[in-house]
Chains A and B, each alone.
Chain A
């Protein structure tokens, strides 16, 4: 199965509140609060680290959860947020810079 790379979109607002991340899409105003596990995935979504590596290296290390269950949960999370354009998903590494330069 191809690797999945995830990056945070630039079209979002986000802030940590009491250990959990609040994320809002500036495109469709959908608003999510992420629990502790989801927040770890969110923070690790640098576009360069494969999702499987985030699950193995962060989730399974920091939380008492088996790899298969963690991977299923991570896949669902990524699917949901990518549907709202909050996470970008690709089978190759992603580069996402913000704020964009003004077009001339």
Chain B
């Protein structure tokens, strides 16, 4: 077991929120087609409120702190927030589009000892990248920021969200990352908007393209191992948790709302009304999330993928039931292994609520006069 895995296990046993994702704003200078946020300011926490929250998070034992948005640099006090976070010795990761990062910002981030900067790049071609961000000139500014950050010796990672509109450019974005000397991660996940609107799911890449991703050794390593049929789940799997959301990690919005994860919009409390630790320890919603083991999942517990599926309880929650399947992850498990999930099989069986094809006999033509059925 790696040292980090040991730390997570210990944090789980002690009930410590070792990782927190804090969005400092939802405002953004880009209007990305796939973004799940609205970009108005509904009353962001002030600098003082965030400083107080960071004190509370440090006291609660939080070690890994992701600062994200929206675009974090739209907050004039962002570097002040980073300085406070680093003074409290958090391991700080910043997610940004980089558009507002110049030499001064890069130098200050380095000086403050930020661990990693994650920057979204959708394509190596401005016309494709900017068709997604809706900000003319954004690709050149983002790449310039990456160069400033690299020149400071910072660890930079390009995050490449895959959609129908940019899938074809994925190899070139990976090449761009290599040229720039930065890490590359890709993510085929498109989540519904936080208000429940699912229209952006139409941007998800189709299964045939996702299959190409899963069969690409440059992206997944050992394809045979990655796409292997799932082993039979043992008792440890059935007693296990789906992910760290609510167990050792949580998400806090710019308005102080606490959720199990950024992708799990179940409100658990607000740090403007209650202390963070009170919410973390006593929120009924978090307690409910923590009570769920794989064996409690009505459909997934009988699925052969239960031990290897990336089932996201947040996506399942957005589909209507945090104990239910997350359809997108069912599809991923299927596309990866070729083995349908229990959810897919059940839906397949359930689909014909009545007879699939029904023939009404003409009166008098057939003795019985009852509908004929072909299934």
Contact = CB atoms under 8 A, between A and B. Distances in A.
Interface string B1-21: 001101100110110101000
Interface residues of B, number: 30
A12 to B, nearest CB: 7
Interface stretch (B56-64, B215-223, B226-234, B264-272): B56-64
A17 B86 contact: no
Given A29-B155, A33-B7, A17 B61 contact: yes
Contacts of B18: 15, 17
A13 B90 contact: yes
A102 B310 CA distance: 43
Contacts of B83: 99
A100 interface: yes
A17 B7 CA distance: 8
Nearest to A11: B113
A47 to B, nearest CB: 16
A31 B115 CA distance: 12
A18 B87 contact: no
Interface string A2-38: 0000000011111111100010101101011100000
A15 B89 contact: yes
B108 interface: yes
B11 to A, nearest CB: 6
A83 interface: no
A98 interface: yes
Interface string B162-193: 00000000000000000000000000000000
A54 to B, nearest CB: 20
Interface in B57-74: 58, 61-63
Contacts of A102: 79, 108, 111
B50 interface: no
Interface centre among B13, B16, B87, B112 (most CB of A within 10 A): B112
Contacts of A100: 111-112
B115 A26 contact: yes
25 contacts: A10-B113, A11-B113, A12-B113, A13-B63, A13-B89, A13-B90, A13-B92, A15-B58, A15-B63, A16-B61, A17-B63, A18-B10, A22-B7, A26-B91, A27-B113, A29-B155, A98-B86, A99-B83, A99-B86, A99-B111, A100-B111, A102-B79, A102-B108, A103-B107, A103-B111
